[in-house]
């Protein structure tokens, strides 16, 4: 006999908390969710309000890598705004490209602490509360960098770890009615990426040439995948990592065979 989800415990009840919500993919996700009618609270290490008036900004700096700050912050947010039924872990930093021998361990530690430790700390703190309430959905923002390789050594390791803890937490809380999934964006047209292109550190042509769709990913496209994974429409899905990469992974090995084929001319 198939068990149907309880209608009074919809994952759209309560608030959705978005870390790293003042910019980039976090901001795009918060804006989309608010437009869908969700009650959204954003936190950030540098908190700035978004244009969408319905989005509630937590005014205090939120350091995802600080265990005490996360614990007290989550408690304060729930006391002020109600239970968190959806969590988007979008806080993260992108490290510099270096040969491995030039990686400074203080930079390694900072990236691991924010991207991996921070994701785990927030997910654990919120997920335990969801498990006691017997419902909730978490989406962690990983990266295709965690599924491939590149000269961003701490970042690739951290994002691979995010994918792994997503599976582990999905198994941990599945019987308590909490779903945990991840999205892995490809090269996404955020302000930070555009700044890297403008500075010459990144090449737009190189970023898109191995993507099957021959373009960058738009932040709203990642946000749409996150919104779906938070919603009851994905109620049977937990422990997955969904690439949103314009076909980067699919096309990345074609360069060895002469490159991706161009679209046929009319």
Identify each DSSP E strand in the chain by its residue range.
Answer: 15-19, 39-43, 56-57, 84-89, 136-141, 178-185, 241-244
Residue with tokens 């990686």: 103
Residues 6+ apart with CB under 8 A from 193: 187, 202, 207, 216
The neighbouring-strand residues paired with 178 are 136
Q: At what angle do helices 24-35 and 219-230 cross, to 10 degrees?
A: 60
Tokens read off for 189: 């047209």
Active-site residue, 257 included = no
Nearest to 201 by CA among 82, 68, 98: 98
Active-site annotation holder among 155, 173, 187, 248 = 155
- Could you give the residue numbers annotated as active site? 155
């Amino acid at each position: 006999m198939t068990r149907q989800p309880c209608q009074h415990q919809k994952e759209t009840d309560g608030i959705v908390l978005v870390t790293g919500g003042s910019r980039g993919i976090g901001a795009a996700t918060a804006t989309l969710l608010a437009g869908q009618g969700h009650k959204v609270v954003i936190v950030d290490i540098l908190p700035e309000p978004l244009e969408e008036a319905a989005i509630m900004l937590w005014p205090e700096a939120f350091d995802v890598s600080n265990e005490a700050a996360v614990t007290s912050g989550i408690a304060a947010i729930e006391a002020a705004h109600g239970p968190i039924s959806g969590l988007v872990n979008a806080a993260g930093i992108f490290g510099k490209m270096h040969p491995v021998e030039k990686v400074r361990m203080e930079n390694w530690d900072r990236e691991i602490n924010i991207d991996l430790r921070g994701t785990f700390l927030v997910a654990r703190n919120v997920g335990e509360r969801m498990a006691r309430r017997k419902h909730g959905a978490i989406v962690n923002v990983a990266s295709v960098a965690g599924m491939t390789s590149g000269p961003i050594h701490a970042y690739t390791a951290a994002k691979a770890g995010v994918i792994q803890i997503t599976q582990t937490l999905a198994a941990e809380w599945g019987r308590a009615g909490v779903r945990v999934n991840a999205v892995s964006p490809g090269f996404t047209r955020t302000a930070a990426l555009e700044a890297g292109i403008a500075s010459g550190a990144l090449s737009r042509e190189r970023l898109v040439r191995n993507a099957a769709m021959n373009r960058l990913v738009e932040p709203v496209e990642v946000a749409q995948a996150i919104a779906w994974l938070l919603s009851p429409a994905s109620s049977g899905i937990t422990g997955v990592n969904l690439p949103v990469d314009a076909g980067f992974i699919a096309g990345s090995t074609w360069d060895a065979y002469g490159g991706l084929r161009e679209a046929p001319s009319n």
